[in-house]
Structure 1
Amino acid sequence: MKRIDYIKKDDVCPISALQADYNYLPEEMKRKIQVISKLEIDYLTELLLEVKKKDI
């Protein structure tokens, strides 16, 4: 089962919610959010490069 199958219509991504409140988070949480955000960006970059390579 794909990850998208677990997401319901009105669900909120916890990482996105934390990113929205980033300026109000404790420093340790900010560091963790930065790490997770970089992972998401890297994943998306790989996905886009793969799509471009396959000319989809």
Structure 2
Amino acid sequence: MPSTKKKKENIPLVSMAGLIRYYDEENEKVKIDPKVALIGSIVLIAIILILSKLVPPP
């Protein structure tokens, strides 16, 4: 079975009848834990709200 799987991966794009395969390159992407992103955004919102109360508008 591995030989058939290997053959499927080597099919050129021309013979796929117009279908394009998109490969995920996860080695080059920056990975951020969803919890860190959520906490960071909440902290950023809090800082902006605090600064908007402390600094009067011009």
TM bucket by the smaller chain?
A: 0.3 to 0.5
TM-score under structure 1 length normalisation: 0.42
When normalised by structure 2's length, the TM-score is 0.41
Larger relative helix fraction: 1
**Highest Rg: 1 or 2?**
2
> 1 or 2 for the larger relative contact order (CA 8 Å, sep ≥6)?
1
